[in-house]
Homo-oligomer: A and B are copies of this chain.
């Protein structure tokens, strides 16, 4: 089944919206109250461009929450589970953010732009609202807001060539999550080696929303001879690669997850001297031991079609012992693959598990990795 989307002022348009329409976008979703392209009509070709060539994605909906002012470091240290002391300008860090109950509410990349000024490059939840409330309640001297910043991702094995042609060979020296403030024909932006895939690439954090089409067209032109294609954050690749998707894998309102069960426990630093949001709850959760763990699933049977929502993973007796968050048919692995959670009580049982789909039950198996071939 396919449905249209209402394009109206309830959700925002990205500054690349017109450019993506000109490029033939066929399908949108909504992320951080903003329309985000979902595909351009040829998902197979878009996947192939990401895996073997180069793709460009409007990810402006990955909004930035800027935290700036005398107490900015203190607030960042309090909001995240990692020790931010060693954070330095030019090196991004993946930072889980939990609420006071120790549940994941976002998993942004943090960019320290200068002393006292940070961006959180966020997944889909209103972190500016949440962070500004905490700052105000604690009487911190800091400004929390969403600046005019709109990331454009260039992803895939040929991404570096395209970006080097645009910016110069210095981009090859950028470490993973490394970034630099720069410009492109006077368009101000931050260039980072980052992006929501494991195929390598960069994100251009455009800092002037009036120049979205101009930047899009420049990237398109530079990428043309490398076969660049417009696309979107790719669900198949992310499931194959095991990337976390806050929102799809769980969100505060549906299947809430703590960092230990979702595989981010290593990024909870109880040793840092300062308190942080959720610390007491996370200590309790850790002491009790996680009740679930993140796994990969293989789902038997014919290639899956559209996977619209999470399904409970059931024992033979129909008891729910886990969740299949998202699944897709992978030609690369020749199987239906998915990600989700399983109760740690199932670790020893070897019990047969299944999910109920429209056409009936399908057996699922837990995998540590999918493994090629």
Contacts and interface: CB of A to CB of B under 8 A. Distances in A.
Contacts of A4: 2-5, 26-28, 38
A304 interface: no
A42 interface: no
Contacts of A3: 4-5, 7, 25-28
A13 B309 contact: yes
A5 B5 contact: yes
A247 B133 CA distance: 20
Interface residues of A, number: 59
A326 B137 contact: no
A321 interface: no
A29 B9 contact: no
A33 B99 contact: no
A288 B99 CA distance: 36
Interface in A87-137: 99-101, 105, 124-126, 128-130, 132-134, 136-137
Contacts of A146: 253
A124 B10 CA distance: 9
A8 to B, nearest CB: 6
What are the nearest 8 A-B pairs in CB distance?
Answer: A30-B30, A6-B38, A5-B5, A100-B136, A126-B126, A137-B137, A4-B27, A6-B29
5 contacts: A3-B26, A33-B247, A99-B136, A105-B129, A125-B126
Given A6-B39, A126-B129, 9 more contacts: A3-B4, A9-B307, A10-B247, A11-B247, A13-B308, A63-B253, A100-B136, A125-B129, A130-B133
